[in-house]
Amino acid sequence: MTDSLSLQSKNDRPEFFNELLEPIDEIQPASVTIWQRLYGQGVLRKFGILLILAVIWELYARSLNNPLVFPAFSDTLVALFDGFLSGELLSAGVATILLLIQGYALGLLFAAILTTLASVSKIGADLLETLTAMFNPLPSIAMLPLAMVWFGLGDGSVIFVLVHAVLWAVALNTFSGFKSVSQTLRLVGQNYGLKGPGYIFKILIPGAFASILTGMKVGWAFAWRTLIAAELVFGASSGSGGLGWYLFQKKNELLITEVFGGLLTIIVFGLIIENFVFNSIEKATVRRWGMLQ
């Protein structure tokens, strides 16, 4: 008991109270030099690294002086430019992207159906878990020979492997995202009368959006790699070949500079989607909401 303790200590210091607090002066932050400011920009730093790599590439290629094996950076840029001007590289790029969008959209649709089944019943959840465990480790490009038997040498086969690439990653992440939506948010949704589809769209999907987005990013990465690989195999048969086919063709013609140009295009396309499309979605949603783990 506190009463029984005697906590008397010697205290000669006077008490005081500040009636008015000192007005707060503006404190100037230490000045930052222009170099420090530039160095602070991640984009600029990375751009600097790219520039250095390009210079090393150029110097090495020139010292090697064998454009058939390793063309110079400047020549590659010219080939890239020519490829776009002639429309060949551009149409190959468009063909690839169109195919990708179809496969991706179809993959998302199937993932949505599978996840819905999994969320409404235990059997559905078991189905999703079993199928994902089976098919997720299977590289989708391995399905290509079978797809060619089933769907013939056309877009159908490519779309099939794309769906396979997207479906499992998205379904798995979405479902685990749904499961990790906090109990409190679920109860809040029920408290305000949300049921069925309203509950899924207004509580579960936004609540799991960080996971869904991760799944979409992984699915996109799988799909992009799979697509280029698939096109390497049979772009020609599907009429207008894509970027993969462009690489294969140019290699056969021993136009190695064009091959490098094609590779650069693939890298740039990938960077644009990953950095601009997905990052913008992320910034406008989960980052803004403070939901990114």
Partner 1 sequence: MNVSPPTLAVDRVTLQYRTDQNIVTAAYRISFNVLESDRFVMLGPSGCGKSTLLKAIGGFIKPSEGEIRLNGLAVKEPGPERAFVFQEFDQLLPWKTILENIVFALTNSGTLKRPEALERATHYLEKVNLSRFINAYPHTLSGGMKQRVAIARAMAMEPAVLLMDEPFAALDALTRQQMQDELLQLWEDTKFTIIFVTHSIPEAIRIGNRILLLSPHPGQVKAEINSTGNDSMDENGVKLSQRIHGTLFNKTSDTEFNHD
- Kindly indicate which of the ranges 97-105, 113-121, 189-197, 272-280 contains the residues binding partner 1, using the contact rule CB under 8 A: 189-197
Q: Which residue in this structure is represented by tokens 């480790």?
A: 137
- Kindly indicate which of the ranges 20-28, 148-156, 262-270, 281-289 contains the residues binding partner 1, using the contact rule CB under 8 A: 281-289
- Kindly indicate which of the ranges 7-15, 113-121, 151-159, 197-205 contains the residues binding partner 1, using the contact rule CB under 8 A: 197-205
DSSP, collapsed to helix, strand or coil, labels residue 81 as: helix
Euclidean distance between CA atoms 47 and 263, whole angstroms: 19
Residue of 40, 48, 152, 198 that binds partner 1 (CB under 8 A): 198
Residue of 67, 139, 206, 270 that binds partner 1 (CB under 8 A): 206
| Of 203 and 247, CB closest to partner 1 | 203
Residue of 14, 137, 197, 290 that binds partner 1 (CB under 8 A): 290
Residue of 31, 182, 252, 293 that binds partner 1 (CB under 8 A): 182
CA distances from 66 to 70, 72, 232, 256 (A): 6, 9, 25, 10
| Of 207 and 235, CB closest to partner 1 | 207
185 binds partner 1 (CB under 8 A): yes
Q: How far apart are the first and last CA of the chain?
A: 46
285 binds partner 1 (CB under 8 A): yes
191 binds partner 1 (CB under 8 A): yes
Q: Is 66 left (phi over 0), alpha (psi -120 to 50) or beta?
A: beta
Other Cβ atoms less than 10 A from the Cβ of 230: the count is: 29
Are the beta carbons of 183 and 147 closer than 8 angstroms? no
Euclidean distance between CA atoms 248 and 233, whole angstroms: 8
Amino acid at 140: S
Q: Which residue in this structure is represented by tokens 């000045």?
A: 31
184 binds partner 1 (CB under 8 A): yes
| Of 55 and 187, CB closest to partner 1 | 187
- Kindly indicate which of the ranges 130-138, 171-179, 264-272, 282-290 contains the residues binding partner 1, using the contact rule CB under 8 A: 282-290
Residues 6+ apart with CB under 8 A from 250: 256, 258, 259, 262
Euclidean distance between CA atoms 71 and 82, whole angstroms: 15
284 binds partner 1 (CB under 8 A): no
Chain residues in the site for partner 1 (CB under 8 A):
182, 184-185, 187-188, 190-194, 198, 202-203, 206-207, 209, 285, 288-291
